[in-house]
C-alpha cells in the first residue's frame, strides 16, 4: 500500500511532533488512546482530538485507525473544533496494510431456508419501523423483487386520459399474477430521469395500471407518453416476483426479509446458503458530516485510506419523481410536494477549507455519495473511489433550493460570493455504477461553484450522464464558471436513459475549459432525444472545448441545444455520422471552430491514444491523423 505523502512527512519529521490518537475495535474507550491501550470508537477519539487541539492549537494530531469494521450508531459529525489551522493538520488515517471500514449498516446472519428454497431472516430490532430500501451481499447490491427480471422491461400501450396516473399494457403471462398492490411500485423511464410511483390498482387480465400519485414531475413534459414511444416500465416490490438469484422482498405478513439465494462464487457455480448468507442493510442515511460556518469553517481536516459503506435513503412516501441528476419532487405528504430537492449524500461537507479525502472508498449507498457543498474552498478528493451509489456519485457546489428574499439565492449572487464553493478539486478518482437506484444519477455533478478542477478521473458505467456542469437552463448570469475539466476518461455512459452524454453542460460558464478528455462508448439512445459525447445544453456560453478525443458514440460526438457562444478547438472526433456536430435550436455561427480533426471510424483504426487515469499525464499521438 502506498503511504500518503502527508502521513509519510509526519512519520519522518519528529520536529513536527504531531500528537497521536489510536483507535482499535478491540480497544477500550476508558483507556488513554495509545498503541498499547487504544480507544474503541471514533467518537471517543474525536473527543481526544478536541482536547489536544485546545491545549496545543499549533500542534497537529494524527488519528491512527487499526483494522476492523466500525459500525456507526449515528453519523460522525465534525465541526471547526475537530480541524486544524494553517500551522497544524488533523489527519484520520490507517497504517500501511490495514483495512478500516466505517459502516452504517446492520449485519443479518440468522437465516433459514423455507420449502420454496428461499432464504428468510427476521429483521433485527435496530431496523424496527424502518423501510428496507437496499440489501447487500458479498459487496453487491441485491435486486428488489422485480417483474420482468433485471435488464428486461414491459411496454406501455397507451397512457390514460390525464397522461400521468394510469396506462394500459400487454403481458402474455398476466394470468400468473394477482391483483395485490401492497408494497407494489411501478418503475418507469423518461428520457433523462426515472419515476417510481406506488400502484393503487392493477388488473393484469385487462392490462390496466393506476398509480396513487402522478408518474413524473408535474411539469407537462414529464407526461408518460412524452418520451420514447411505448415507454419502458417494470414492477417492483412484491414477493411473488421472486424468481431470480439475488432478488429480495419483505414479506408483509411475517415481516421477514426473503431472498432468492444469490451467487456466492459464480465462477464456481456456488450460491449462498442459510449458513453462508451474510447480508448488510443500511440504517443510517448519513455516514459523516463535516460542517462549519462562513465565519468559522472547518480547516485542515484530512481523511486517508478509510472505507465508508452502507448508507440508506428512503424516497418520498408518494414515490420518486426524478427531474435530473437525482433532483426530485419532495412528495412527502406536506404542502411543499412540488418543491424539488436532491437525494441526500452519505458524506456531506459544508464550509470546509483546505480539507481533503485521499485513497478513501465509498460504496453501497442508497442516495448520493459525497456532497462538497456551500462554502467549500480548496477542498480535495484525491485517488478515491465511488462505486455502487444509488444516485449521484459526487456533488460539488449548490443547487437552487436555498432562498434569499423569497428568490433562489443565486439570482442575487455572483462569482465573488464568499459562500460559493470554490477551488474544489477531484483528482485521480474512480467513479462507477452510480444511479444504481435512481437512473438519472450522474457520476460527478457541479452546480453553482467556481474554479473547480476535475482531472485524471475515470468515470464509467452510468445510466445517464458521466459529468454534469452548470445548473441554469438559460442565459441568465449565475455564479458558475472558471472550471478546468481535463484529462478524464469517461466511458460507457447513457446505458439506460437518453438526452445526456459523457459530459453535459448548462448555463453561462465563463472561463470554463473542457480539454484533453477521452470520451467514448455512448450507445444509440432509446428515447426521443439523442445522447452524445458532449451535450452542450441550454444556455451554455463561454466554454472552451479543446483537444478531446471522442469516439464510439451512437449519435453525434458533440451536440448543441439553445447554446450561446463557445469555442471548439483541436478535438479529435471519430464518427460515422455525416457531421460530428448536431444542432438542436442552436446557431452554428455562434460557435468558433478551430482545427478539429474528424475521421470516420472505418479509417481511424490506427489512430491511438495512450491514457491512464490517476496522477499521470495523458499522452496524445496525433501524427496518424495528419497522414489521412
The answer to whether residues 238 and 193 touch, using CB atoms and an 8 Å cutoff, is no
Tally the domains of the chain.
3
- In this model, does residue 626 exceed pLDDT 50? no
Give the per-residue pLDDT at 335.
80
Calculate mean pLDDT across residues 468-496.
96
Q: Tens digits of per-residue pLDDT, 565-619? A: 999 999 999 998 989 999 999 999 999 999 999 988 766 554 444 333 332 222 2
Do 207 and 258 fall into the same domain? no
**What separation in angstroms does the CA of 452 have from each of 28, 372, 407, 425, 502?**
42, 11, 26, 6, 18
Q: Which H or E run includes 395?
A: strand 394-396
Do 189 and 224 fall into the same domain? yes
Percent above pLDDT 70 for the chain: 93
Do 191 and 234 fall into the same domain? yes
Question: How many whole angstroms separate alpha carbon 622 and alpha carbon 626?
Answer: 7
Q: What string of H, E and C letters represents the secondary structure of 245-299?
A: CCEEEECCCCCEEEECCCEEEHHHCEECCCCCCCEEEECCCCCEEEECCCCCCEE
Give the per-residue pLDDT at 40.
97
Residue 24 in domain? yes
Nearest alpha-carbon partner for 212 in 232, 185, 236 = 185
Question: How many whole angstroms separate alpha carbon 319 and alpha carbon 125?
Answer: 26
The cell numbers describing 572, all together, are: 479529435
Give the per-residue pLDDT at 543.
97
Q: How confident is the model at residue 4 (pLDDT cuts 50, 70, 90)?
A: low
Question: How many whole angstroms separate alpha carbon 307 and alpha carbon 313?
Answer: 19
Do 100 and 112 fall into the same domain? no
Pick from 10-19, 80-89, 272-281, 459-468: least confident:
10-19
**What separation in angstroms does the CA of 292 have from each of 81, 296, 304, 373?**
9, 6, 20, 11
Give the per-residue pLDDT at 556.
95
Residue 260 in domain? yes
**What separation in angstroms does the CA of 511 have from each of 114, 204, 278, 519?**
62, 55, 51, 21
Residue 50 in domain? yes
Q: Tens digits of per-residue pLDDT, 425-453? A: 999 999 999 999 999 999 999 999 999 99
Give the per-residue pLDDT at 377.
98
Q: How confident is the model at residue 16 (pLDDT cuts 50, 70, 90)?
A: low
Give the per-residue pLDDT at 483.
98
Residue 415 in domain? no
Question: How many whole angstroms separate alpha carbon 290 and alpha carbon 81?
Answer: 11
Do 119 and 259 fall into the same domain? yes
Q: How confident is the model at residue 113 (pLDDT cuts 50, 70, 90)?
A: very high
Give the per-residue pLDDT at 333.
82
Q: Tens digits of per-residue pLDDT, 336-385? A: 888 999 999 999 999 999 999 999 999 999 999 999 999 999 999 999 99
Give the per-residue pLDDT at 46.
97
Do 19 and 98 fall into the same domain? yes
Give the per-residue pLDDT at 601.
75
- In this model, does residue 555 exceed pLDDT 90? yes
- In this model, does residue 203 exceed pLDDT 70? yes
- In this model, does residue 274 exceed pLDDT 80? yes
Give the per-residue pLDDT at 516.
97
Q: Tens digits of per-residue pLDDT, 123-136? A: 999 998 899 999 99
Q: How far is CA 66 from the centre of its chain?
A: 28
Do 16 and 51 fall into the same domain? yes
- More confidently predicted of 11 and 62: 62
Do 255 and 270 fall into the same domain? yes
- In this model, does residue 183 exceed pLDDT 50? yes
Give the per-residue pLDDT at 611.
35
Percent above pLDDT 90 for the chain: 85
Give the per-residue pLDDT at 220.
93
Q: Tens digits of per-residue pLDDT, 577-590? A: 989 999 999 999 99
Do 235 and 257 fall into the same domain? no
Q: Tens digits of per-residue pLDDT, 43-60? A: 999 999 999 999 999 999
Do 249 and 133 fall into the same domain? yes
Q: Give the CA radius of gyration of the chain.
A: 25
Question: How many whole angstroms separate alpha carbon 229 and alpha carbon 456?
Answer: 39
Calculate mean pLDDT across residues 421-427.
98
Q: How confident is the model at residue 486 (pLDDT cuts 50, 70, 90)?
A: very high
Residue 274 in domain? yes
DSSP 622: -
CATH number at residue 186: 2.40.30
Give the per-residue pLDDT at 267.
73
Residue 161 in domain? yes
**Which residues touch 526 (CB under 8 Å, ≥6 apart)?**
228, 232, 498
Question: How many whole angstroms separate alpha carbon 540 and alpha carbon 525?
Answer: 22
Residue 176 in domain? yes
Nearest alpha-carbon partner for 467 in 517, 423, 424, 400 = 517
Average pLDDT, the chain: 91
- More confidently predicted of 619 and 424: 424
Q: Tens digits of per-residue pLDDT, 302-333? A: 999 999 999 999 999 999 999 999 999 999 88
Give the per-residue pLDDT at 290.
98
Do 100 and 246 fall into the same domain? no
Give the per-residue pLDDT at 265.
76
Nearest alpha-carbon partner for 224 in 269, 166, 263 = 166
Beta bridge partners of residue 483, listed in sequence order: none
- Residue 255: domain span: 105-145+242-282
Residue 464 in domain? no
Q: What are the phi and psi torsion angles at 176 (to 5°)?
A: -80, -10
> Going by DSSP bridges, is the β-strand pair 288-291/345-350 parallel, antiparallel, or unpaired?
parallel
Calculate mean pLDDT across residues 525-539.
93
Q: Tens digits of per-residue pLDDT, 219-262? A: 999 999 999 989 999 999 999 999 999 999 999 889 999 999 99
- In this model, does residue 476 exceed pLDDT 60? yes
The answer to whether residues 441 and 462 touch, using CB atoms and an 8 Å cutoff, is yes
Do 153 and 229 fall into the same domain? yes
Give the per-residue pLDDT at 9.
46
Give the per-residue pLDDT at 621.
24
Last residue of a domain, one of 190, 225, 240: 240
Amino acid at each position: 500500500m502506498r503511504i500518503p505523502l502527508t502521513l509519510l512527512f509526519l512519520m519522518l519529521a519528529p520536529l513536527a511532533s504531531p500528537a497521536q490518537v489510536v483507535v482499535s475495535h478491540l480497544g477500550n474507550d476508558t483507556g488513554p488512546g495509545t498503541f498499547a491501550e487504544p480507544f474503541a470508537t471514533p467518537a471517543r477519539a474525536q473527543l481526544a482530538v478536541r482536547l489536544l487541539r485546545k491545549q496545543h492549537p499549533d500542534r497537529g494530531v494524527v488519528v491512527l485507525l487499526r483494522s476492523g469494521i466500525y459500525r456507526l450508531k449515528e453519523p460522525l459529525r465534525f465541526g471547526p473544533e475537530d480541524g486544524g489551522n494553517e500551522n497544524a493538520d488533523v489527519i484520520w488515517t490507517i497504517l500501511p496494510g490495514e483495512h478500516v471500514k466505517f459502516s452504517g449498516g446492520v449485519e443479518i446472519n440468522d437465516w433459514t431456508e423455507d420449502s420454496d428454497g428461499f432464504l428468510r431472516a427476521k429483521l433485527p430490532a435496530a431496523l424496527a419501523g424502518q423501510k428496507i430500501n437496499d440489501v447487500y451481499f458479498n459487496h453487491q447490491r441485491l435486486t428488489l423483487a422485480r417483474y420482468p427480471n433485471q435488464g428486461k422491461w414491459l411496454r406501455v400501450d397507451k397512457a390514460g386520459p390525464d397522461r400521468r396516473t394510469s396506462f394500459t399494457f400487454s403481458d402474455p403471462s398476466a394470468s400468473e399474477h394477482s391483483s395485490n398492490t401492497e408494497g407494489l411500485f411501478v418503475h418507469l423511464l423518461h428520457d433523462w430521469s426515472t419515476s417510481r410511483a406506488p400502484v393503487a390498482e392493477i388488473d393484469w387480465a385487462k392490462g390496466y395500471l393506476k398509480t396513487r400519485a402522478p408518474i413524473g414531475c408535474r411539469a407537462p413534459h414529464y407526461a408518460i407518453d412524452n418520451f420514447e414511444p411505448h415507454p419502458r416500465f417494470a414492477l417492483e416490490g412484491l414477493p411473488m416476483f421472486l424468481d431470480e438469484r439475488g432478488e429480495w422482498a419483505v414479506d408483509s405478513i411475517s415481516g421477514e426479509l426473503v431472498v432468492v439465494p444469490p451467487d456466492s462464487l459464480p465462477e464456481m457455480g456456488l450460491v449462498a446458503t442459510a449458513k453462508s448468507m451474510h447480508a448488510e442493510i443500511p440504517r443510517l442515511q448519513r455516514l459523516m458530516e463535516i460542517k462549519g460556518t462562513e465565519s468559522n469553517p472547518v480547516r485542515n481536516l484530512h481523511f486517508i485510506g478509510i472505507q465508508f459503506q452502507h448508507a440508506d435513503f428512503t424516497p418520498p412516501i408518494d414515490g420518486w419523481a426524478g427531474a435530473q441528476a437525482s433532483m426530485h419532487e419532495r412528495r412527502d405528504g406536506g404542502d411543499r410536494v412540488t418543491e424539488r430537492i436532491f437525494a441526500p449524500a452519505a458524506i456531506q461537507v459544508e464550509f470546509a477549507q483546505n480539507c481533503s479525502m485521499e485513497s478513501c472508498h465509498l460504496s453501497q449507498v442508497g442516495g448520493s455519495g459525497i456532497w462538497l457543498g456551500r462554502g467549500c474552498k480548496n477542498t480535495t478528493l484525491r485517488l478515491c473511489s465511488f462505486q455502487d451509489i444509488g444516485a449521484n456519485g459526487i456533488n460539488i457546489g449548490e443547487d437552487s433550493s436555498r432562498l434569499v428574499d423569497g428568490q433562489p439565492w443565486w439570482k442575487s449572487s455572483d462569482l465573488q460570493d464568499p459562500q460559493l464553493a470554490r477551488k474544489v478539486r477531484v483528482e485521480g478518482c474512480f467513479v462507477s455504477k452510480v444511479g444504481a437506484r435512481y437512473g438519472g444519477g450522474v457520476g460527478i455533478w457541479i452546480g453553482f461553484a467556481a474554479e473547480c478542477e476535475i482531472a485524471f478521473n475515470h468515470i464509467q458505467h452510468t445510466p445517464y450522464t458521466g459529468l454534469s456542469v452548470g445548473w441554469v437552463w438559460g442565459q441568465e448570469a449565475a455564479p458558475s464558471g472558471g472550471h478546468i475539466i481535463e484529462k478524464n476518461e469517461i466511458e460507457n455512459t447513457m446505458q439506460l436513459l437518453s438526452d445526456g452524454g459523457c459530459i453535459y453542460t448548462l448555463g453561462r460558464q465563463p472561463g470554463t475549459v473542457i480539454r484533453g478528455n477521452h470520451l467514448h462508448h455512448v450507445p444509440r439512445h432509446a428515447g426521443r432525444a439523442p445522447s452524445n459525447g458532449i451535450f452542450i445544453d441550454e444556455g451554455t456560453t463561454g466554454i472552451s472545448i479543446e483537444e478531446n478525443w471522442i469516439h464510439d458514440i451512437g449519435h453525434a460526438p458533440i451536440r448543441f441545444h439553445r447554446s450561446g457562444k463557445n469555442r471548439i478547438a483541436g478535438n479529435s472526433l471519430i464518427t460515422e455520422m455525416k457531421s460530428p456536430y448536431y444542432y438542436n435550436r442552436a446557431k452554428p455561427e455562434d460557435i468558433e471552430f478551430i482545427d478539429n480533426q474528424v475521421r470516420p471510424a472505418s479509417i481511424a483504426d490506427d489512430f491511438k491514444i495512450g491514457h491512464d487515469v490517476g496522477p499521470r499525464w495523458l499522452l496524445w499521438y496525433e501524427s496518424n491523423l495528419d497522414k489521412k
